[in-house]
Amino acid sequence: MALVVVDKLSYRYPDGRQALSEVSFVIRRGERIGLLGLNGAGKSTLLLCLAGVLKPEGRISVDGDRRRTLGLVFQDPNDQLFMTTVYDDVAFGPQNLGLTTDDVRSRVKQALQLVDAAGYEERLTHHLSFGEKKRVALATVLAMQPELLLLDEPTSNLDPKRRREFIKIIQNTRQAALIATHDLDLVRQVCDRVLILQAGRLVVEGGLALLDDLDLMRRMELI
Amino acid sequence: MVRPESRVIAIFCLILAVALDPALPWWRGALYLLYLAGLIRLFQAPLLRVCKRTLLVLPFLLVVLVFAAWSAASPERLFLLVQKALLSAAALAVLGVGTDFPSLLKGLHRLGLPSMLVMMLSFMYRYLDLLLGEAKRMEIARNQRYFGGGYLRQLRVLGNMIGSLFLRTYERGERIYQAMILRGYSAEAKPETVTYGLVDKIAVFSALGVLVFVVGTEHLWRLWS
Ligand SMILES: Nc1ncnc2c1ncn2[C@@H]1O[C@H](COP(=O)(O)OP(=O)(O)O)[C@@H](O)[C@H]1O
Ligand SMILES: [Mg+2]
C-alpha cells in the first residue's frame, strides 16, 4: 500500500527558476529512501513541495491527513528551532495537535530520549551546540509521530563522530523516511532505495546496488 | 518554586507602593528593604547578583540627578528620588535575577499578555544572538578585505551589508513561519495550565498587603480625616 504517490511534479520558483520537472515516484509504508543529488538539484524543493509548503504543479496524494502524516526537518536547525527552550520547541507540535499537558510531556520526553537528548528540557535553544540543535530539531518532528520523515541533509556540517551518532539515531526511528543528502554512507546504512535528482529531473531510481555502480555514480557526479 | 507570574505581581505591587509613598519615612524604607529581603529568600535569588543588577541603575540615576539639580529641586526631594529609584531598581533586580526570560514570558502569558506579543518577544530572545552573530561575521568578512580609505564607497558597502542582513533575516522569518505552520501552528496558542502552591500565595498576598498598607495609611487615611 503506497503512503505517498507523486505524479508529474513540477515546480518553478517565482523568480522563474525551474527547480523540479515532472518528478514521479512512490513511497510505501515503512520504506526509507535516499534522495541523492548535487547542490541545487532540487532536493530541498521536492521536500518542501511534499510537505505542502510550496504549491507545485502535478499530483501528490498522501494516504491520510498530509500535515499529520509527513514531518519535515529543515536543513538549518536554526529554522527548525524557534522557541526559547528545548521543551517548548519539542512541545510546540504536540500542543498544536491538541494533546493534554500530560500527553505533551510524555511525547517530549520520549522524543528527546530517541535523539539522545534526555533531560535537555530546560536548556535554552540558542545555547545548544550545532550537533545538539540538529538532534533536537529531529525531536521536534518525532514528537508529532508522523508516518514519514522528510529529512533535509540530516548529517551535513556534523563532525565524523556526531555524524555516526546521528546515523544511529535515524536507524533507530521506526518511520518511513525520505532523506535528501549526498552522504552515501548515510544512504547505505539507513535506506532501502535511492532516487537521484539531476537539475530538477528524477534520472535514476533503484536499490542500494546502484551505489556500487561506480560508472553511474561518476556520471551522476556523486563520487 | 514561586511561579513567575506571582513574582511579577509581587514585585509590581512593591514598586507601586514605593512609587505612591509620599515621604518615605525611615521606618517605611526599612519595611521595604525587609520585605525585599523576604522576597529574595522566597524567590531564591542570589544576593550578590541582585546587588550588582541594582547598581546598573546608577548611571541613569546620575543623569536624572544632573537634570534635576538644574531645575532647582530641594535636596530633600532629590534624596527621595534617589531612594525610590534604588528601591525600585532593587525590586526589579530581584525579579530579573531569580527568573529567566523564557519563564517570565510564560508567566506574563498566563497573566493575559496576548499570544502574538509573547511569540514576538520570545523570537526576539531566541534570534537576537543569531542576528548579532551574523552582523559580526559580516563585519569580519568585510574587514578581511578592507584596508581603510574610500569612505564614500564604504558607506555604500555598509548600506549593502545592512540590506543583505535585512534580507537574510526576512527569509529566515519566512522559513521559521513555514516550520511553525508545518507543526500545526494556528495563531492562538494557549498557555499551559499550572497549579499554584503556598509560596505563590504568600508572595502575592504579602505584596498586596504592603501596597494596601501604604496606600491606606498615607492616602486613604488623609482623604478621610
Ligand atoms: N527561494 C528560492 N527562490 C528561487 N530559486 C530558488 C530558491 N530556492 C532554491 N532555488 C533554486 O532552485 C534550485 C533547487 O534548489 P534546492 O531545492 O535548494 O536544491 P538542493 O536542496 O538539492 O541543493 C536551485 O537552482 C536553487 O538555486
Ligand atoms: Mg538543499
Question: What number is the ipTM of this complex?
Answer: 0.85
Query: What pLDDT shows up at residue A207?
Result: 95
Residue from the list A84, A141, A144 with its beta carbon closest to the beta carbon of B102: A84
Instruction: Report how many helices (DSSP H) and strands (DSSP E) chain B contains, helices first.
Output: 10, 0
Query: What pLDDT shows up at residue B91?
Result: 95
The ligand minimizing its distance to the Cα of A21 is 1
pLDDT in tens, A7-27: 999 999 999 999 999 999 999
Query: What pLDDT shows up at residue A198?
Result: 95
Average pLDDT, chain A: 95
Residue from the list A79, A83, A140 with its beta carbon closest to the beta carbon of B122: A83
Query: What pLDDT shows up at residue A49?
Result: 96
Question: What residues of chain A lie within 8 A of the CB of B184, using their CB?
Answer: 67, 93, 96-97, 144
Question: What residues of chain A lie within 8 A of the CB of B176, using their CB?
Answer: 79, 82
Is B123–A96 a contact, with Cβ atoms under 8 angstroms apart? Answer: no
Atom from ligand 1 closest to the CA of residue A13: 4
How many Cβ pairs within 8 Å bridge chains A and B?
64
Residue B19 C-alpha cell reads as 512609587
| A128 phi and psi angles, rounded to 5 deg | -75, 150
> What is the residue with the minimal CA distance to atom 16 of ligand 1?
A42
Question: Is the CB of residue A38 less than 8 Å from the CB of residue A182?
Answer: yes
Residue A71 C-alpha cell reads as 514531518
Q: What angle is formed at CA A30 by the lines to CA A28 and CA A36, rounded to 5 degrees?
A: 70
CA B53 to chain centre: 11
CB A50 near ligand 1, within 6 Å:
no
Cell 544572538, located at residue: B129
Q: What is the mean predicted confidence (pLDDT) over A68-80?
A: 94
The ligand minimizing its distance to the Cα of A16 is 1
Residue from the list B101, B129, B175 with its beta carbon closest to the beta carbon of A79: B175
Closest CA to B21 of B73, B71, B68, B83: B83
Is A125–B179 a contact, with Cβ atoms under 8 angstroms apart? Answer: no
Query: What pLDDT shows up at residue A160?
Result: 95
Query: What pLDDT shows up at residue B24?
Result: 85
pLDDT in tens, A174-214: 999 999 999 999 999 999 999 999 999 999 999 999 999 99
Quickly state the pLDDT bin for A158 (edges 50, 70, 90).
very high
Query: What pLDDT shows up at residue B139?
Result: 86
Distance of alpha carbon A40 from alpha carbon A46, whole angstroms: 11
CA A171 to chain centre: 13
Residues of B with CB under 8 A from a CB of A: 100-102, 105, 122-123, 125-127, 129-130, 172, 175-176, 178-186, 189, 192-193
Q: In sequence order, what are the residues at sequence separation of 6 or more whose Cβ sits closer than 8 angstroms to the Cβ of residue A1?
A: A28, A29, A63
Residue ranges of the alpha helices (H) in A39-145? 43-51, 66-69, 77-80, 86-96, 101-114, 130-142
> What is the residue with the minimal CA distance to atom 18 of ligand 1?
A44
Quickly state the pLDDT bin for A150 (edges 50, 70, 90).
very high
Query: What pLDDT shows up at residue B43?
Result: 92
For residue A199, list its beta bridge partners.
Answer: none
Q: How far is CA A201 from CA A49, A58, A81, A195, B179, in A?
A: 14, 14, 31, 10, 26
Report chain A's C-alpha Rg in angstroms. 17
- Which 3-state string (H, E, C) describes A98-120? CCCHHHHHHHHHHHHHHCCCCCC
pTM: 0.85
- Using 70 as the pLDDT threshold, list the residues of chain B that sit under it: 187-189
Is B126–A84 a contact, with Cβ atoms under 8 angstroms apart? Answer: yes
